[in-house]
């Protein structure tokens, strides 16, 4: 695999894990907050106001999914940064606008 292909795979994996972490954050914050509460319409028709399930998934499972994808995101981010070390070495020249050709390659 070429470096460009590896970057593309890592970037796609970062996007997917970012979206999952974002979705689980919204679910945990608005629909299944710790300590109860949340939007009551989620439990409409069940007769149980403390039901801790959203879309058939328990709060604990949402938390596990959130935590695992968050950790995977952090590992992928480290790999992403390591793959871009050459860019970070020239970032000062790129930001100063010296017109270096290396800045256009990344």
CB-count exposure of residue 56 (10 Å: 0-12, 13-18, 19+):
exposed
pLDDT of residue 41: 44
Which helix (H) or strand (E) segment holds residue 23: the answer is: helix 3-26
C-alpha span between 101 and 14 (Å, rounded): 28
Whether residue 3 contacts residue 82, with contact meaning beta carbons closer than 8 Å, is answered with no
pLDDT tens track for 61-75: 999 999 999 999 999
| Averaged pLDDT, 28-55 | 65
pLDDT of residue 2: 93
| Averaged pLDDT, 29-38 | 77
Average pLDDT, the chain: 83
C-alpha span between 25 and 16 (Å, rounded): 14
């Amino acid at each position: 695999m070429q470096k460009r292909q590896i970057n593309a795979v890592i970037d796609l994996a970062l996007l997917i894990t970012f979206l999952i972490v974002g979705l689980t954050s919204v679910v945990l914050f608005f629909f299944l907050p710790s300590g109860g509460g949340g939007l009551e319409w989620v439990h409409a028709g069940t007769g149980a106001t403390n039901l801790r399930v959203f879309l058939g998934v328990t709060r604990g499972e949402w938390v596990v999914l959130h935590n695992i994808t968050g950790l995977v995101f952090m590992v992928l981010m480290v790999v992403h940064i390591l793959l871009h070390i050459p860019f970070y070495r020239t970032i000062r020249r790129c930001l100063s606008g010296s017109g270096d050709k290396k800045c256009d390659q990344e």
